[in-house]
A = this chain, B = another copy of it.
Amino acid sequence: MADPRFFDNVGPFSHPRIAELTGGKPARACERSIADVAALDSAGPDHLSYCEGVKFRSALERTKAGAVLVSPALESSVPATAIAIICDQPSLAFAKVATAMYPDACLIWPRKKPPVHRIAPSARVGEGTVIAPDVFIGEDVEIGDDSVIGPGVVLGRGVKIGRKALLGPHVTISHALIGDRCIVQSGSRIGQDGFGYVSSASGHFKIPQLGRVILQDDVEVGANATIDRGALSDTVVGEGTKIDNLVHIGHNNRIGRRVIILAQSGFSGSCEFGDFAVIGGQVGVADHLKIGAGTYVASKSGVTRSLEAGKVYGGYPARPIEQWRREVGTLARLTKSRSKNERDNGKE
């Protein structure tokens, strides 16, 4: 499922090869080879997927994957169309297959010797577009008309940049599709590896990040921000969304249109943000949450649960802002009266 413009798949892999990589035991023999890796809900008959944890059981039951790495407890939920491959830690087994199939997934700069072109001969640059010196433009990159690409910008292979885009100095973009009129200020990093590991007693095994970043039209990104690409799906920023300096957007987040994200906020991963949401500065958002359309999250909030549309939240854990304000007031009053009591009782 990884976009071949960005990733080289060295598969397909035979089932014996999968078994060798994972130590997993296939429930039955199979001639069909595995062409790719994918999530349960997007996998097809040529794909290997995995399921770890009973909360994903229903996704497992519906998967169209040709093979699934599962723990023994989930074997009975694997559909008849899929081969169950039984293993102790399916996420680790899956990461090992993905790593073997995409051995260079984490490279931004290609592991090959010169000749090196600053601008790859296969790149297409639109009319009226200005490219500053020291810019690197990888193979098959496309840039629309009337854009300005600042000095030192690095565009990895296959990246698309729309029309009238502005990329400030030292911006790095890989594995990404960038819309028209997008502005990315100096030093922002788009499309690098998300932070994904499978942990065990022997350490943290890196999960290849095989998704992309998509910035729709009119998105603006401040200076020194970071937007990681997806793991198996994409990180998406909707049309007209504005992102301030030093913001971190982790992998697989899907941000709606015309969202405002103030400086130094960070989103861990796999969240959905509705259109016109406003996220204050230094906000943190835990993973796999839904933030409703038009929701306003006050600065420095820590969001640990999904938030309803059109409401205002604050505090950590984030709660309706009136509740948070009342709680702040309650604590101040209780403390004052306690202090008074202690003074009245002659205590410090």
Contacts and interface: CB of A to CB of B under 8 A. Distances in A.
Contacts of A203: 218, 240, 258
A58 interface: no
A189 B224 contact: yes
A220 interface: yes
A12 B233 CA distance: 50
Interface stretch (A23-31, A39-47, A70-78, A332-340): A332-340
A329 to B, nearest CB: 8
Number of copies: 3
Interface residues of A, number: 83
Interface stretch (A14-22, A94-102, A278-286, A305-313): A278-286
A214 interface: no
Contacts of A245: 189, 192, 195, 226, 228, 248
Contact of A154 (B136, B151, B224): B151
A186 interface: yes
A242 B168 contact: no
A151 B109 contact: yes
A262 B258 contact: no
A187 B204 contact: no
B187 A187 contact: yes
Interface stretch (A2-10, A61-69, A82-90, A126-134): A126-134
A11 interface: no
Nearest to A329: B335
27 contacts: A106-B183, A111-B148, A134-B134, A134-B152, A136-B169, A154-B170, A169-B172, A170-B172, A170-B187, A185-B192, A187-B187, A187-B189, A189-B224, A192-B222, A195-B244, A204-B240, A204-B258, A223-B226, A245-B248, A248-B264, A268-B299, A281-B284, A282-B302, A286-B299, A326-B339, A330-B331, A334-B334
Interface of A: 106-113, 116, 118, 130, 132-134, 136, 148-152, 154, 166, 168-170, 172, 183, 185-187, 189, 192-193, 195, 197, 199, 203-204, 206, 218, 220, 222-226, 228, 240, 242, 244-246, 248, 250, 258, 260, 262-264, 266, 268, 281-282, 284, 286, 299-300, 302, 316-317, 319, 323, 326-332, 334-335, 338-339
